[in-house]
Chains A and B, each alone.
Chain A
């Protein structure tokens, strides 16, 4: 290992290479090899990045809630749980944003408009804003433990939005299509290569998420260490000043 390999290890490097290979394969299958949809035509190709994006965001926010719950429930509260929660939420926000933008482009082609105040779209936008708020709460003044406690409580409340977003198409009348792949009773049947491309997208984005979380939570550990170090220096300076008087 090099003296300054940043936040990488041999495992994360191998995982990174695998993600790049899978992303190239996804681009080939999604844009070239898979057939056009009978109804949607070529616009279905947007689905191979749109669906994996919101899938990854769901995983990210669920992981944030699990880590937050573990942090609050343990007697020995380890900040490592809080850092994984924070890293995961940050990446989740990125993927919700990607999902909103790609969905909007798909909507322009399919519905003739970039945005409608539809139940699924509105609840997803609300989910995005909620987790931007979560990230803002993490930046409030206070100790690491105060940050962890506040943000853990917020994460456990925010996760309640996920079922609301996911089932919004069933709960309210919606332009957005219902579940088509996950529902065994759905009328929509996907061609083999289309299904494969979608599955490849889910695997690629999930592994990408794991790679990003590993790096980001290590960066957060370094940020916390440096903040503590800065605090130690400030306390020592204050003590020196008090001793000199």
Chain B
């Protein structure tokens, strides 16, 4: 594949950005829900 560094860089960069954000959201949600009552978590 020509220009593999640019192409893979685009894909890997996208993956890292999305995964990093998703992990941050999940960890923050998990940390907050530890101290939340059931009423504060209507989805449960």
A contact residues, total (Cβ < 8 Å): 39
How many A-B residue pairs lie within 8 Å, measured between CB atoms? 101
B contact set with A: CB distance below 8 Å: 1-4, 6-11, 13-14, 17-18, 21-22, 25-26, 28-30, 32-36, 40-44
Known: A6-B30, A91-B21. 5 other contacts (CB 8 A): A43-B6, A50-B10, A219-B25, A221-B40, A221-B42
Docked Cα-Cα span, A223 to B33, in Å, equals 10
A234 close to B (CB within 8 Å): no
Closest Cβ of chain A to B3, distance in Å, is 5
The closest CB in chain A to the CB of B39 belongs to A225
Task: Name the prevailing secondary structure of the B interface residues.
Answer: helix
Q: Which of B13, B28, B44 contacts A1 (CB 8 A)?
A: B44
Given A7-B29, A94-B18, A212-B25; A226-B35 close (CB under 8 Å) = yes
Docked Cα-Cα span, A109 to B43, in Å, equals 47
A223 contacts which chain B residues (CB < 8 A)?
Answer: 32
- Contact A109–B32 (Cβ < 8 Å): no
- Contact B17–A105 (Cβ < 8 Å): no
List residues 98-157 of chain A with CB under 8 A from any CB of chain B: 98, 101-102, 105-106, 108-109
